[in-house]
Chain A
Amino acid sequence: MPYVRRSDGRRVSPEEVQLMGMLVGLTIPPEDLAALADELSDQLASVYQLAALDLESVDPVLSFDPRWPDQDRGTR
């Protein structure tokens, strides 16, 4: 999928993917390695989009309630 590239343009190699898989206890079939390296490179690069936001003082979404603060709760 088309994400921005990592700022240093570095791509993850299939060998690195295999090693990462071993570290998390996952035996990745050889036929998945190349595609996974591509997808992972794109996914890792995409975080630079988020890093452009000032997130340090933002509370993460921990339990999710989509209601807005001023909304009538209308609970029973």
Chain B
Amino acid sequence: MESLDLTIREAATRLERGEISSLELVEATLRRIEATEPLIHAYALVLAEEACEAARAADTEMAQGRYRGPLHGIPVGVKDLCYTRGIPTEAGSRALAGFLPSYDAAVVERLRDAGAVIVGKTVTHELAYGVNVPPTRNAWDPACYPGGSSAGSGAAVAARSAFGAIGTDTGGSIREPATLNGVVGLKPTFGLVSRYGIVPLSPSLDHAGPLARTVEDCALLLQALAGYDPRDGGSIDQTPADYTATLEVGAAGLIVGVERDLFMGSLVQPEVRLAVEAVLAELAAQGVAVVEVAIPELALMRTVGLTILLGDASAQHWHLLRERGSDLDPTTRLMLELGELVPATHYAMAQRARRVLCDAMRRTFESHRLTALVSPTSPSATLPMDEMVAQGETGEDPLSAGLDFMIPANITGQPALSVPCGFSSSGLPIGVQFFGRPFDEATLLRLARAYERNHAWAGARSPALPPLDQ
């Protein structure tokens, strides 16, 4: 089972050399799923037979010298929001029980083309709305919230029941489970990764992207996923960069910004703030310039994002609410009802305010020549499920407060990457977030890698889960 401790890059190297087979990796992953699922419930569906068959095919291809690249033969999970041909895709909802898509989502096609082996569909909050309680539990403490809505993807990667996974992100749904489970999660630039065949929530806020244990593994997954797709109306015809070419160049000479009023204020747990300050100090020691910036417009991000999301999601699921409303979780149903009652004028005002926010972010990056804006990914480490929705002294509950830190990147469309940066005194993961320039994932990944390579966070294993040799 030590093979499960390998990163995608390490496993790929061994596969290419013939030192290990894809079938061995898949069988070890399936045994790990069996050992960890009773605790974390990361998978909605495990595809054991299909995965073994795909692994055998990958091994045959590699033996014949037809090596497809670093994802060939690698076991991955896919969020159960992504269509899989002939395989149930239920989006965490009783209202979609038994739905069998007739085609694969673009991200699934691209993973298959790259030779990756899909071992299962990972649990999502219902319809990716992020308001109900999913069965998934945090990989570091099963009593705690796993993040969402890509809950299963985050927990599975942390538990080593997948080498990497696909998530989707409309208001932080890749980055939150990444930070709360101690893995890396990337919401790419809007338009870079196709959303074709993914159950939609909001056409201009939805994104798809990777979760993995290391920055490099995220880059490898992004390389396979990125690219124009005319079947997605939001896809943008811009040639993807080489995301691994400059990973090890280092960060000296880059400039990062910190917005302390919103991102380092009283909402942030002191130990989270300390961890992010330590990241900034380390980057500065590597030759990165750290500058203070002020973006007061950030305070409006949640209002703008939610107003757009409410209208979009209710328009998307208009029929589902009327025809299958009683099958929806009451919390999801309430949000869909709410979206129907928000005036169209408010939606239109939010789309105008969105322009103001995009301009404010662009001006800040340009005037300070920023590579990235740095913040905590979430203001707190994970908490027990009931505490996530309990209002604190500030009148905020941690679940809602987290939106302020993540939804800005969904509104502006810029890339945002969450990277582990330590543990709380209770041994729970903390993450730092880097917002980048549109389509500049390569520099963002390079910056994150410069921080990551001095730390062994990716090698840390949860003591709450069975050891890998069981």
List residues of chain A with CB under 8 Å of any chain B CB: 1-3, 17, 20-21, 24-26, 28-29, 31-32, 35-36, 39-40, 43-44, 46-47, 49-51, 53, 55, 58-62, 64-68, 70-71, 73-76
In angstroms, Cα B307 to Cα A40, docked, is 11
Point out the residue from B228, B330, B334 that lies within 8 Å of A39, measured CB to CB: B334
Instruction: List residues of chain B with CB within 8 A of the CB of A50.
Output: 300, 303-304, 307, 346, 349-350, 352-353
Point out the residue from B204, B299, B439 that lies within 8 Å of A74, measured CB to CB: B439
Once the chains bind, are A55 and B349 in contact (CB under 8 Å)? yes
Once the chains bind, are B337 and A32 in contact (CB under 8 Å)? yes
Listed by A's residue number, 11 A-B pairs whose Cβ atoms lie within 8 Å are A2-B391, A29-B325, A43-B307, A44-B346, A50-B346, A51-B349, A58-B353, A66-B189, A73-B238, A74-B439, A75-B239
**Shortest Cβ distance from B176 into chain A, in angstroms?**
16
Given contacts A46-B303, A46-B307, A76-B237, contact A71 B341 (CB under 8 A): no
**Shortest Cβ distance from A48 into chain B, in angstroms?**
9
Point out the residue from B239, B345, B356, B413 that lies within 8 Å of A53, measured CB to CB: B356
Instruction: List residues of chain A with CB within 8 A of the CB of B189.
Output: 66
In angstroms, Cα B303 to Cα A44, docked, is 10
**Shortest Cβ distance from B436 into chain A, in angstroms?**
11
In angstroms, Cα B440 to Cα A74, docked, is 12
Among residues of B, the one whose C-beta sits closest to the C-beta of A65 is B236
Once the chains bind, are B191 and A65 in contact (CB under 8 Å)? yes
Instruction: List residues of chain B with CB within 8 A of the CB of A49.
Output: 299-300, 303
**Shortest Cβ distance from A22 into chain B, in angstroms?**
11
In angstroms, Cα B228 to Cα A1, docked, is 37
Given contacts A64-B190, A65-B191, A76-B237, contact A43 B338 (CB under 8 A): yes
Chief secondary structure at chain B's binding surface:
helix
Once the chains bind, are A71 and B438 in contact (CB under 8 Å)? yes
In angstroms, Cα B234 to Cα A1, docked, is 30
Once the chains bind, are A43 and B333 in contact (CB under 8 Å)? no
Once the chains bind, are B342 and A61 in contact (CB under 8 Å)? no
**Shortest Cβ distance from B234 into chain A, in angstroms?**
7
Quick one: which of B184-211 are within 8 Å of A by CB? Answer: 189-191, 204
**Shortest Cβ distance from B191 into chain A, in angstroms?**
7
In angstroms, Cα B362 to Cα A76, docked, is 25
Once the chains bind, are A43 and B439 in contact (CB under 8 Å)? no
Once the chains bind, are A67 and B340 in contact (CB under 8 Å)? no
Given contacts A3-B303, A20-B341, A46-B303, contact A68 B438 (CB under 8 A): yes
Among residues of B, the one whose C-beta sits closest to the C-beta of A43 is B342
In angstroms, Cα B191 to Cα A53, docked, is 28
**Shortest Cβ distance from A34 into chain B, in angstroms?**
11
